[in-house]
Chain A
Amino acid sequence: MHVHASEFDPHSKDPVTKPPLDPHLKALENEAIYIFREVAAEFEKPVMLYSIGKDSSVLLHLARKAFFPGRVPFPLLHVDTGWKFPEMIAFRDATAEKFDLDLIVHTNPRGKEEGIGPFSHGSSHHTDVMKTEALRQALDAGKYDAAFGGARRDEEASRAKERIYSFRTPDHKWDPRNQRPELWNIYNGMVRRGESVRAFPLSNWTEVDIWRYIQAENIELPPLYYAKSQKYVERDGMLMWAEDPRFEALPGEQIQEGMLRFRTLGCWPLTGGIRSQATTLDEVIAELEIATVSERQGRAIDRDQAGSMEKKKREGYF
């Protein structure tokens, strides 16, 4: 629904009686809104990378806040590798509908034609083609000069080095040794044609902040974040989801069934679940607060080789 001039009136919105955010989350929210507005005002063609997970959900919520009472003034881009959980795709489409968003979905046509997938080609090649290359195709096609991402500095060592405005060359290269200095909250958004900036409004958030914010703001998430009975196998120390028809058990592997949830969502063969009984948000948070392993422990691509995230980022991965 587009807001029509005659029917819009923020007066009519009764003040909501909701407990105020604690100062820590409020400060993070204010910072993110500032970044959203700055990028939207400075760049000609921004786009928001939307990957359907909890960070994307928070990012989208903040974007809606930043531009209220207007609608989100840029499209959302989802790079679909073809290996996402079906529940993610359903959630994505429902969200776009609910919030009146412009959603662009892109799958690498070359990869699709060649049938590239994580089982047949390995996680590294699959990610290169279906995520990194696909992303570059979509960004080039849209001639976007700014792309929002939901990356946080606490996720991984090379991400801790990211600027809020992360400059990219026309071929999407990131040079970690030659980043623009970033002082105060004054961001340098000057780019030439073809160059772009990746902007990270959630840079200073931690995983716990994300969950506490989801709780405080009552943000809806894909149901995969909550535990339910699922089929899975244990492979290379990872609990691999085994509900998809493309899943093939290796010799000796037992398909098990049990209460499982996901701490992070990506392509299902590369994203391990965790055994959990947490079926509500409060239970998820309680579980998280005593967790002794990091969230990316369930991500295969981080572990391909030392410095692998940095390498992928240099090549254009988010």
Chain B
Amino acid sequence: MTAVANTALASPAPEADTAPATRDSRPLRLITCGSVDDGKSTLIGRLLWDTKAVKEDQAVTLRRDSGQQNDLGLPDFALLLDGLQAEREQGITIDVAYRYFATDRRSFIVADTPGHEQYTRNMATGASTADLAILLVDARAGLLEQTRRHATIASLMGIKQFVLAVNKFDLVAYDRAVFDQISNDFKALALSLGVRQVTAIPMSALKGENVVYSARSVIPWYEGPTLVETLELATLRSGQSTGFRLPVQRVSRPGESFRGYQGTVAGGAVKPGDSVAILPSGQVANVKQIVTFDLVRNAAVAGDAITLVLDRQVDVARGDMIVSLDAQPQTGLAFDAQIVALQPDGIVPGKRYWLKAGSRRQRVQVEPAQQLDLKSGKWQPAEMLQMNAIGKVQLAFDEAAIFDPYDVNRGTGAFILIDPDTNNTVAGGMITAKRTELGGLNAHEGRVILSLPSDLAEQLLATELLASRRDEVETRRVTTAIARALLDDIDG
């Protein structure tokens, strides 16, 4: 038995075996998380230092600012990361910082996120775009509640690859039993979260052991990869296994002879001749042309920023989604979602928020249903979600929303909630499923819906009384089918 605890619980992704990453591949985005003082900033500083991302003048400044140096004669790497005055004063990381480094094989964007519970929102921010999460634990302390919280948020956000960095391993005398214990504990946690790809590495970020350089001499029994080797072989997450999706950002009309819909492909692929539907109206058209600055293209795939020209006059506006006719997302007035509450006010039941998804912004009523107990890992009933809570909620819209489940397509399954009172981003959310009925939600309680011809509505809104209460009045343009659904909801 090779007796190495680093083996992934699942076999490594096949791409890693067959096609080694090169310098030209897209950057791997990663997040580091863990509790305070586990050494995250030190680890990233060490990654930057050993991959030669720190230039000479920066090194001079670093040595000057480091003050008392450790007995290795090295500067305080954390100062490379904690760039804000308040962070330096308090010796902690407050806000997420993005750093860039590269090896001969690949480039990396690393989000260094705070360990403090009060800054969990910044950790969630970093996790939302990451392909891989490094979870640090202090070898002396083992897994903490913050480890569980961070691993849970990372997995909710769809991260499937974890690296467990058992740091400060020199301080437990490189004891293999300690490593086995922590990595087994963590793998049990990861499995419970549905994460099957875990690489555990014993390391000392301070001394640079098993970060970029192998520590074979002090940890001879460890035969697994270093951290950088693991990162070089990690896979980018795709999460876009749907039909064609183009959330329309803007309509381009440089002249009367051209009308194009601009956006970034959020799933699938498209080519001229394809039949597409425009949601939520449901109109159908064919793709005439894919225009970009350099050339008229034969095809576009997920990630491409394009301008789409259709073969007929249809009504398309910002916030609409152009999708493949035969593989459409779900549209409806009610969805289930998981959210992370990010602000001190939490998420208040029944409150109406702005929801932004892709280029679409609409009003939504949020009804919390359950909250995750991070100690037990179990879902508990909840009526309100406090800051940093992870919850399940029901979303009720006034007009049709368009989503894919998040685990099928990150680009069309994610959203943020904005508090209309403060304009602050109060939650990040992931769609789990469409609801077929509104359940017990009184989505329209206390509100009156008036249907008026648009010219009359505009005249009314211009009056002094209504103008002063303009924020309370919503106008919208709906199709007959949606209007009917709304009326049915009210009648029911």
Contacts and interface: CB of A to CB of B under 8 A. Distances in A.
Interface of A: 3-11, 13, 15-16, 18, 22-24, 26-27, 29-30, 33-34, 37-38, 40-41, 64-71, 153-154, 156-161, 176-177, 179-186, 188, 190-192, 203-204, 206, 291-294, 297, 306-307, 310-311
B25 interface: yes
Minimum-distance CB pairs A-B, first 4: A157-B83, A5-B255, A5-B256, A70-B254
A176 B415 CA distance: 24
Nearest to A12: B296
A40 B252 CA distance: 11
Interface in B405-441: 410-411, 414-416, 418, 423-425, 428
Contact of A8 (B56, B124, B257, B303): B257
B428 A291 contact: no
Contacts of B342: 181
A37 B263 contact: yes
A158 B423 CA distance: 24
A190 B257 contact: no
B25 A294 contact: no
A204 B81 CA distance: 16
Given A188-B425, A203-B98, A293-B56, 19 more contacts: A5-B256, A6-B255, A9-B258, A10-B296, A30-B303, A37-B263, A41-B359, A69-B254, A69-B260, A69-B307, A71-B254, A153-B97, A160-B83, A177-B84, A181-B425, A183-B124, A183-B414, A188-B424, A190-B423
A69 B258 contact: yes
Nearest to A180: B425
B358 interface: yes
B107 A69 contact: no
13 contacts: A30-B303, A41-B249, A65-B293, A153-B99, A160-B98, A176-B84, A186-B356, A188-B356, A188-B424, A188-B425, A190-B354, A204-B100, A206-B100
A5 to B, nearest CB: 3
Contacts of A157: 80-84, 97
A22 B24 contact: yes
A186 B289 contact: no
Contacts of B65: 306
A18 B125 CA distance: 37
A24 B295 contact: no
A177 B124 contact: no
A127 to B, nearest CB: 19
Interface string B236-274: 000000000000011011111110101110000000000
B225 interface: no
Contacts of A71: 254
B310 interface: no
Nearest to B97: A160
Nearest to A187: B356
Contacts of A24: 24-27, 107
B292 interface: yes
B250 A41 contact: yes
A18 B294 contact: yes
Contacts of B58: 294
A37 B262 contact: yes
Given A186-B358, A190-B354, A293 B291 contact: no
Contact of B303 (A27, A183, A204): A27
B57 A66 contact: no
B86 interface: yes
B293 A64 contact: yes
Which of B55, B65, B107: most chain A Cβ within 10 A? B55
Contacts of B57: 293-294, 297
Interface string B5-27: 00000000000000000001111
B250 A204 contact: no
A182 B83 CA distance: 19
A182 to B, nearest CB: 6
A23 to B, nearest CB: 5
Contacts of A293: 55-57
Contacts of B95: 161, 176-177, 179
A26 B297 CA distance: 15
B100 A190 contact: no
Contacts of B410: 184
Given A67-B252, A69-B260, A183-B124, A161 B97 contact: yes
A37 B293 CA distance: 14
Contacts of A23: 24-26
Interface string B168-186: 0000000000000000000
Which of A13, A160, A186: most chain B Cβ within 10 A? A186
Given A13-B296, A297-B55, A161 B84 contact: yes
Given A30-B264, A41-B250, A310 B85 contact: yes
Nearest to B303: A30
B215 to A, nearest CB: 27
